[in-house]
Amino acid sequence: MFDANPDQPKVLIIYERSGMGHEVMATILAEQILPNAEVEIVKSTITELLQDPFSEWLTKTWVAAWNFFMRHNWSNVADALINYGMRLLLLPIGEVSAVKAVHQALDQLAPDILICTADTAGKCLGSWAKAQQIPFFLIITDLSIFIDLVSPDAIHLCYFPETVTAIHSFPLTLTYWSSELNRSSSLFSKLQFIGRYLHDFVIHYAQNRIYRNIDRNYPSQNQVACQVIGPLREAKHFTPRNQKTLRRQFDLPPTATCILVISGSLGGHFCIKSLKALQQLTFGDGVVIVACGQDQPLRTKVDRLAAQTPNCQVRSLGFVDNLHEWMSAVDVVLARPSAGVLLEALLARTPLLLPNHAAANDRGAVSFVENHQLGECFRNWQDLQLKLDRLLNEKAHYQRRIDALLKNYPSTFEAQRIHLRQILLNSLRR
């Protein structure tokens, strides 16, 4: 909690420790956007609201499973079991079982503005906000969308217009949105909700998909409130950076081709596969920097492989707080797709090289890079050489595309802070 004062409006930020993006966004809001705005700021996870040991265990279990799948680059398994399986079968049960406890917890906290950066909570939070007639914001931390991130009772804050198009493509006449759940819902109405949900999205899955990528222009089927805010990361990502200065600072050759390999803070098999693929390629007097995050065994493997790489220099990084500077120091960022790495590479003005294959929630990053020509996406490791050569030969073109995109949005963190504050706090005056 920050700036506690009973006379100030209370802003409650709901997040979950289910992915770096959700918690990072909640922290940015609480520590960099809203302080000194004459509001009381409270952060809470969904499991803290529920105060239920089983819910806490379930969250920790699926987060651990997700991290395991991502570390091993098993995005298909993560999609089948978590992105789709849990939403198709467990989401409706979670909605009916959590609504009473969540609404009672919100009664006690009594916020004046409700903000959510997490998945799966939009329906439950939205129904409470609607009943209390307070502003409710869903901050979408990915580019692609699942049904639980769409609420007729929320204002959706999205990085880019493509996500708004995806949100507007869902038919809100389906049970998930048209059937209201609250603390007084009867057992019959809850069972009816579950049955109709399974009818809509499991039996008629082909007609009613629970997911939208941003790779097409969908016909609009609703007009829920949305606002585009542009790239938002911590303030350090908006600071001007000079590549020559950073290369001297990091002891990188001033004219060599430098590639940074990233797989999020988890590290994992993606980094090893990428490094081995790069070892087979020719890109001059190159330097490959592998960001290993918290994966110490990965760093040991990278250091071992470095001794077997005569055609380029290989360096490993542990968990560092200046990865944004490394992104500006290199020519290309080769990364496992995610919204976070996309935003950070954009703000670093560095082209991205991404595999086409990604988990559903990260697939929007691939589509966005392709649609806006912000880098290249490769189909397989054999395709990597062609796409890398194109990136290096036409680097200026990709940087111009990045600059053209960023011109549409606030160019400094202060401007972004003012913009977002206005959106959030002006809602109190309606």
d(CA 377, CA 430): 44
Instruction: Report, as an integer, the average pLDDT of 196-208.
Output: 96
d(CA 189, CA 192): 5
Higher-confidence residue: 352 or 37? 352
At residue 1, does pLDDT exceed 80?
Answer: no
At residue 218, does pLDDT exceed 50?
Answer: yes
pLDDT band per the 50, 70, 90 thresholds, residue 306: confident
Task: Name the pairing type of β-strands 145-146 and 211-212.
Answer: antiparallel
Q: How far is CA 144 from CA 44, 105, 347, 362, in A?
A: 25, 30, 20, 7
At residue 430, does pLDDT exceed 90?
Answer: no
d(CA 375, CA 337): 12
d(CA 252, CA 350): 16
Instruction: Report, as an integer, the average pLDDT of 382-404.
Output: 95
pLDDT band per the 50, 70, 90 thresholds, residue 356: very high
37-48: pLDDT as tens digits: 889 999 999 999
- Paired strand residues for 113: 11
Instruction: Report, as an integer, the average pLDDT of 244-265.
Output: 92
Of the CA atoms within 13 Å of residue 269, those in its CB half-sphere come to 9
pLDDT band per the 50, 70, 90 thresholds, residue 404: very high
The 3 state secondary structure assigned to the chain is CECCCCCCCEEEEEECCCCHHHHHHHHHHHHHHCCCCCCEEEEEEHHHHHCCHHHHHHHHHHHHHHHHHHHCCCHHHHHHHHHHHHHHHHHHHHHHHHHHHHHHHHHHHCCCEEEECCCCCHHHHHHHHHHHCCCEEEECCCCCEEHHHCCCCCEEEECCHHHHHHHCCCCCCCHHHHCCCCCCCCHHHHHHHHHHHHHHHHHCCCCCCCEECCCCCCCCCCCCEEEECCCCCCHHHHCCCCHHHHHHHCCCCCCCCEEEEEECECCCHHHHHHHHHHHCCCCCCEEEEEECCCCHHHHHHHHHHHCCCCCEEEEEECCCCCHHHHHHHCCEEEECCCHHHHHHHHHCCCCEEEECCCCHHHHHHHHHHHHHCCEEEECCHHHHHHHHHHHHHCHHHHHHHHHHHHCCCCCCHHHHHHHHHHHHHHHHHC
Instruction: Report, as an integer, the average pLDDT of 398-413.
Output: 97
At residue 93, does pLDDT exceed 90?
Answer: yes
Quick one: pLDDT at residue 187?
94
Contacts with 303 (C-beta within 8 Å, 6 or more apart), sequence order: 316
Quick one: pLDDT at residue 62?
85
At residue 3, does pLDDT exceed 50?
Answer: no
Instruction: Report, as an integer, the average pLDDT of 205-226.
Output: 95
Set out the domains of the chain in order of their start, with CATH numbers.
10-230+413-429 (3.40.50), 238-406 (3.40.50.2000)
Place of tokens 């989401």: 91
Quick one: pLDDT at residue 22?
87
At residue 18, does pLDDT exceed 80?
Answer: no
**Sign of the Cα pseudo-torsion (107, 110, 112, 116, in order):** negative
d(CA 117, CA 244): 37
Instruction: Report, as an integer, the average pLDDT of 168-178.
Output: 96
Instruction: Report, as an integer, the average pLDDT of 128-143.
Output: 97
Tokens of 395: 């680097």
At residue 133, does pLDDT exceed 70?
Answer: yes
Tokens of 282: 């020719």
**pLDDT over 70 for what percent of the chain?**
96
At residue 5, does pLDDT exceed 70?
Answer: no
Tokens of 291: 């960001």
Instruction: Report, as an integer, the average pLDDT of 209-215.
Output: 96
At residue 216, what is the residue type?
A: R
Print burial letters for 130-148: b (CB count within 10 Å at least 16), e (below 16). Answer: beeebbbbbbbbbbbbbbb
Instruction: Report, as an integer, the average pLDDT of 230-241.
Output: 96
Tokens of 413: 């963190």
Instruction: Report, as an integer, the average pLDDT of 61-86.
Output: 90
**pLDDT over 90 for what percent of the chain?**
78
Kindly report the average pLDDT of the chain as a whole number.
92
264-305: pLDDT as tens digits: 766 578 899 999 999 888 766 789 999 998 888 889 999 998
d(CA 161, CA 182): 32
Q: How far is CA 84 from CA 89, 90, 148, 175, 212, in A?
A: 8, 10, 12, 18, 12
Instruction: Report, as an integer, the average pLDDT of 68-85.
Output: 90
